[in-house]
Amino acid sequence: RNYEIVRNQVELGEIIGEGQFGNVHKGSYKARDGQIMAVAVKTCKVDADLATAEKFLEEAYIMQQFEHPYIIRLIGVCSEAPIWLVMELARLGEMRAYLQSNKHRLDLAALLLYAFQLSTALSYLESKKFVHRDIAARNVLVSSHSCVKLADFGLSRWVEDQSYYVASKCKLPIKWMAPESINFRRFTTSSDVWMF
């Protein structure tokens, strides 16, 4: 499938998230068949260096390999500068804020459902030989009151032959990392489970 999108098919709306390398906007996408859908658009900063632009395209390449009900779906990419990643929109936002604002209405059954959904997403990533490396509530998006999805594959890496990935000196989320990841910068599907 060709993931390249013409920029005039996408309309940017309000900013719904801010990051080190760009922002995430709510937007709309007009598909080739004329259908208009609400989307999330991750925009790379206009003045981004080549390494940052490559990271955005690498994230898109990783995301296009996944098709799972509990992983945010890549719709397409505007690969000319500034780079835009167009993804499905999770209407209720990130899980961390959702849990805080809905703590009185969430029961054990809902929390177990979310845990099940995310564990199936992690199992799927393992079957594809990927480690996410940044499992945290800020990287889980809430599509509906009964559906959460794993997102933000900027730190994800392919792992050969069920072994492990050794990270370079990039910034990593130490607060949630497994001991072997902190001490040896070693990441496996098991370290993803630790973060979960």
- In tens, the pLDDT along 36-72 reads 999 999 998 888 788 888 888 888 888 888 899 999 9
Is the confidence at residue 82, as pLDDT, over 80?
yes
- 49-74 burial, b for 16+ CB within 10 Å, e for fewer? eeeebebbeebbebbeebebebbbeb
Catalytic residue among 134, 152, 161, 192: 134
Is the confidence at residue 193, as pLDDT, over 80?
no
Architecture of domain 7-88: 2-Layer Sandwich (3.30)
- What does the domain layout of the chain look like in residue ranges? 7-88, 95-195
Model pLDDT, residue 45: 84
Architecture of domain 95-195: Orthogonal Bundle (1.10)
Segment 98-143, tens digit of pLDDT: 999 999 999 999 999 999 999 899 889 888 877 766 677 788 999 9
**171 marked as part of a ligand binding site:** no
134 a catalytic residue: yes
10 Å Cβ neighbour count for 99? Answer: 15
